[in-house]
């Protein structure tokens, strides 16, 4: 029986995972991989940390080499080989050896596409200057480090406030550079809601990062091939010695399009749950493919290493005759920069709104472990919840510690289709240095489930601002202490501490719409329950308390 020949286009997460899984599935298969770059398998998520010298040994980033692929897996991995064309009728690909210029053809029985995505580099004036870089590959990082070593630098500019941009900003600040991040949108971390992203941007500014939001780059001005100044769309000019572009990535679709494989509305290669394209002998995995979102059920693109590795594994197994399925992804992601951590899974509030869900949000600000045990830090948790069913739609968490395990619990809950009432009764590990008896995820479940059951109606900061414009007669009560009120309170709010509320009910109008708030929401919830049981009909608790309000709304 003739051995199956599996050819893989592209390495890194998707391609390398496909190759090794194919070998584990079929010891007799011929497996050949072609990678256009210098490195067939490397940890691209570690590149910012290599730039900033957190990772000092470059070889730590190189997960596999052509030699190690052959030694352990008997996989022929060719670097500096670019695939030019796929001939589906003859089942062969056209390949160019970029070192020699030689062009040859390679036949296949099964083909796996893992072309990945390239860094977005917009055609701005001056963008080809020698001191403007991307940070997508190992050679990119090598070029940045070589430039920094050869030049005395003071001002660094990061274009783009996404995950890689903020990680790179931290890396350069650790090298004692004066760093500015420019983000054209009105917030950094676009997958997050504005209120959550603002918690991060406030922290970064306090740490000394210069952050410009709502303004983009118009041009770079250069002298002798080196840019010395960036001109923003607003006309503002920023001095710079180095710029790193972190604008986003664009899927590499050229080969798939020329081969007339289907490209979906989300802008990626269409695959089924076996990672098969519209050609049953061609599979695809990684940043260039569309995946099913596990919450919406709709196709989307999620260019993250986790899904890419799993997709590659499925593609490799099935190309070798297996029957694995990739069910989809949630887009679970986490980033740390300058001591602040932001994580997200599933749908944000703005995404739930865009997809037409009837939803509500619930915000809590618990400590990451028991407050009586030293070192507890505050978390900021925002849940997006389906209104009628209580099904969890998504979660976002900001904090300085304990974020990772909470987002993973919530991602697991999303995968299982749990409701917020299920979160109330999760049996999670508790010891004071790790958690609270009513831990952050459970507490978030309590608060959201209370809203779901109608025990209290909640209102967000934005909703309150809108309500005040249409109902200036709204009864707004601050139920904290006098000292807290004097330090900071919402405009038009009347002070009525929770412990004195019952004695002053006669001074309130039970027929008026009433909003109560405290610092994080707990005392507001208690106040709302008191008012509701004393005949007040329209009572709302500000979800997340004053900690979730916009600074412009505070006095």
Q: How confident is the model at residue 555 (pLDDT cuts 50, 70, 90)?
A: very low
| Pairing relationship of beta strands 132-134 and 242-245 according to DSSP bridges | parallel
Averaged over 253-280, what is the pLDDT? 98
Average pLDDT, the chain: 96
CATH number where 481 lies: 3.40.250.10
Q: What is the DSSP letter of 512?
A: S
Q: What are phi and psi of 55, to 5 degrees?
A: -100, 115
**Which pLDDT band, with edges at 50, 70 and 90, does 194 fall under?**
very high
290 pLDDT band (50/70/90 cuts)?
very high
Q: Do the domain assignments include residue 328?
A: no
pLDDT at position 64 is 87
Q: Is 350 exposed, middle or buried (0-12, 13-18, 19+ CB in 10 A)?
A: middle
Residue 288, pLDDT > 90, answer yes
Which of these, 227, 247, 250, 249, lies nearest to 239 by C-alpha position? 227
Name the β-bridge partners of 382: 363, 396
- Quick check: is 360 in a domain? yes
Angle at 68 between CA 64 and CA 73, to 5 degrees: 105
Residue of 45, 62, 98, 175 marked active site: 45
Is the domain of 469 the same as that of 535?
yes
For the record, the structure tokens of 331 come out as 């887009």
Residues 185 and 278 in one domain: no
- Asked whether residue 478 carries a pLDDT value surpassing 80, the answer given is yes
Answer whether 244's CB lies under 8 Å from 145's CB. no
Residue 97 structural domain: 5-117+250-319
Taking Cα atoms as reference points, which of 434, 359, 437 lies closest to residue 395?
359
| Whole-angstrom distance, CA of residue 438 vs CA of residue 255 | 53
Asked whether the predicted pLDDT for residue 550 surpasses 80, the reply is: no
Rounded CA gap, 97 and 83, in Å? 9
Do 157 and 231 sit in the same domain of this protein? Answer: yes
Rounded CA separation 348/473 (Å): 32
Distance between CA 391 and CA 462 in Å, rounded? 23
pLDDT score, position 59: 85
Rounded (10°) angle between helices 163-174 and 194-206: 10
Choosing from 210, 232, 247, the residue where a domain stops is 247
**Structural domain ending residue among the three candidates 229, 247, 265:** 247
User: Are 437 and 346 in a shared domain?
Assistant: yes
Last residue of a domain, one of 452, 479, 505: 452
User: pLDDT by residue (tens digit) across 406-462?
Assistant: 999 999 999 999 999 999 999 999 999 999 999 999 999 999 999 999 999 999 999
**Position 325 in a domain:** no
Q: Is residue 480 part of a domain?
A: yes
User: In this structure, what token pair is assigned to residue 413?
Assistant: 């809950």
Same domain flag for 140 and 231 = yes
List the one residue out of 382, 376, 372 whose CA is nearest residue 401: 376
Say whether both 157 and 56 belong to one domain.
Answer: no
Are 408 and 463 part of one and the same domain?
Answer: no
Collapse the DSSP code of 480 into the 3-class scheme (helix H, G, I; strand E, B; otherwise coil) and give the result: coil
Same domain, 354 and 303: no
Examine residue 293 and state whether it is found in any structural domain, yes or no.
Answer: yes
pLDDT value, residue 338: 97
pLDDT of 551 > 90? The answer is no
Residue 518 is among the residues annotated as catalytic for this protein: no
Residue with tokens 């009837």, as numbered in its chain: 358
DSSP 221-270: EEETTEEEEEEETTS-EEE-SEEEE---EEE--HHHHHTT--B-TTSSB-
Grade residue 552 by pLDDT with cuts at 50, 70 and 90: very low
Same domain, 172 and 194: yes
> Are both 12 and 42 inside the same structural domain?
yes
DSSP class of 540:
E
Q: How many domains does the chain have?
A: 4
Please report the DSSP string for 180-210 in residue order. EEEESSSSSSTTS-HHHHHHHHHHHHHTT-E
CB atoms within 10 A of CB 214: 12
In a domain, 123, yes or no: no
482 Cβ contact partners less than 8 Å away, ≥ 6 residues apart: 495, 497
In angstroms, the CA 257 to CA 235 distance is 40
Q: How far apart are CA 518 and CA 510, in angstroms?
A: 20
Name which of 24, 226, 13, 44 is nearest 136 in CA terms.
Answer: 44
Q: What is the pLDDT of residues 7-39, one digit of tens each?
A: 999 998 899 999 999 999 999 999 999 999 999
pLDDT of residue 1: 67
257-267 pLDDT, tens digit each: 999 999 999 99
Residue 432 has a pLDDT of 97
Query: Residues 517-527: pLDDT tens digits?
Result: 999 999 999 99
pLDDT in tens, 34-68: 999 999 988 889 999 999 999 998 888 888 899 99
CATH code of the domain in which 234 resides: 3.50.50.60
Total Cβ atoms within 10 A of residue 303: 18
Same domain, residue pair 362 and 447 = yes
| DSSP state string for 387-437 | TTT-BEEEEEEEESSSHHHHHHHHHHHHHTT-BHHHHHT------TTT--T
Strands 237-239 and 226-232: antiparallel
The answer as to whether 464 is a domain residue is yes
* pLDDT value at 247 more than 50: yes
Cβ neighbours of 257 (radius 10 Å) = 11
Residue 553 has pLDDT above 80, yes or no: no
Within 8 A by CB and 6+ apart from 153, the residues are 177, 241, 242
Based on the fold, state whether residues 243 and 258 are members of the same structural domain.
no
Compute the average pLDDT of residues 485-511.
96
Model's pTM, two decimal places?
0.95
125 domain-assigned: no
């Amino acid at each position: 029986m003739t051995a199956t020949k599996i050819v893989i286009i592209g390495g890194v997460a998707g391609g390398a995972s496909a190759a090794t899984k194919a070998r584990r599935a079929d010891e007799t298969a011929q497996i050949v991989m072609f990678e256009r770059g210098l490195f067939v398998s490397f940890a691209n998520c570690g590149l910012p940390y290599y730039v900033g010298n957190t990772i000092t040994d470059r070889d730590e980033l190189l997960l596999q080499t052509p030699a190690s692929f052959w030694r352990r897996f008997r996989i022929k991995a060719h670097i500096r080989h670019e695939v030019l064309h796929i001939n589906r009728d003859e089942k062969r690909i056209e390949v160019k050896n970029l070192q020699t210029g030689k062009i040859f053809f390679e036949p296949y029985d099964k083909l796996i596409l893992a072309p990945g995505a390239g860094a977005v580099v917009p055609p701005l004036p001056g963008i080809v200057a020698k001191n403007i870089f991307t940070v997508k590959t190992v050679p990119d990082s090598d070029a940045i480090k070589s430039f920094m070593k050869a030049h005395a630098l003071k001002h660094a500019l990061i274009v783009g406030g996404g995950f890689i941009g903020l990680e790179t900003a931290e890396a350069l600040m650790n090298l004692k550079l004066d760093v500015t991040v420019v983000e054209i949108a009105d917030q950094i971390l676009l997958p997050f809601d504005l209120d959550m992203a603002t918690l991060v941007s406030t922290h970064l500014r306090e740490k000394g990062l210069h952050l410009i939001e709502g303004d983009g780059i118009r041009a770079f001005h250069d002298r002798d091939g080196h840019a010395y100044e960036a001109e923003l769309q607003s006309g503002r000019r920023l001095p710079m010695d180095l710029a790193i572009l972190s604008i986003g990535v664009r899927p590499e679709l050229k080969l798939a399009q020329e081969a007339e494989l289907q490209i979906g509305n989300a802008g990626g290669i269409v695959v089924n749950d076996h990672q098969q394209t519209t050609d049953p002998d061609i599979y695809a995995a990684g940043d260039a493919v569309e995946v099913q979102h596990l919450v919406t059920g709709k196709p989307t693109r999620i260019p993250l290493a986790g899904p890419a590795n799993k997709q590659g594994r499925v593609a490799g197994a099935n190309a070798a005759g297996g029957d694995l399925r990739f069910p989809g992804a949630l887009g679970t992601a986490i980033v740390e920069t300058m001591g602040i951590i932001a994580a997200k899974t599933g749908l944000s509030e703005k995404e739930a709104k865009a997809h037409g869900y009837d939803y509500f949000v619930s915000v809590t600000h618990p400590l990451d472990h028991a407050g009586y045990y030293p070192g507890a830090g505050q978390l900021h948790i925002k849940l997006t919840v389906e209104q009628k069913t209580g099904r969890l739609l998504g979660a976002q968490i900001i904090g300085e510690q304990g974020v990772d395990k909470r987002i993973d619990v919530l991602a697991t809950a999303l995968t299982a289709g749990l409701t917020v009432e299920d979160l109330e009764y999760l049996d999670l590990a508790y010891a004071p240095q790790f958690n609270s008896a009513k831990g952050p995820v459970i507490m978030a479940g309590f608060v959201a489930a209370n809203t779901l059951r109608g025990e209290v109606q909640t209102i967000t900061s934005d909703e309150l601002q809108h309500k005040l414009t249409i109902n200036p007669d709204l009864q707004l009560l601050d139920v904290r202490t006098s000292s807290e009120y004097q330090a900071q309170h919402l405009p038009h709010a009347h002070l009525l501490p929770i412990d004195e509320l019952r004695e002053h009910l006669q001074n309130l109008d039970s027929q008026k719409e009433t909003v109560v708030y405290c610092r994080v929401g707990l005392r507001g919830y208690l106040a709302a329950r008191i008012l509701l049981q004393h005949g007040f009909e329209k009572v709302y608790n500000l979800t997340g308390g004053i900690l979730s309000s916009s600074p412009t709304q505070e006095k």
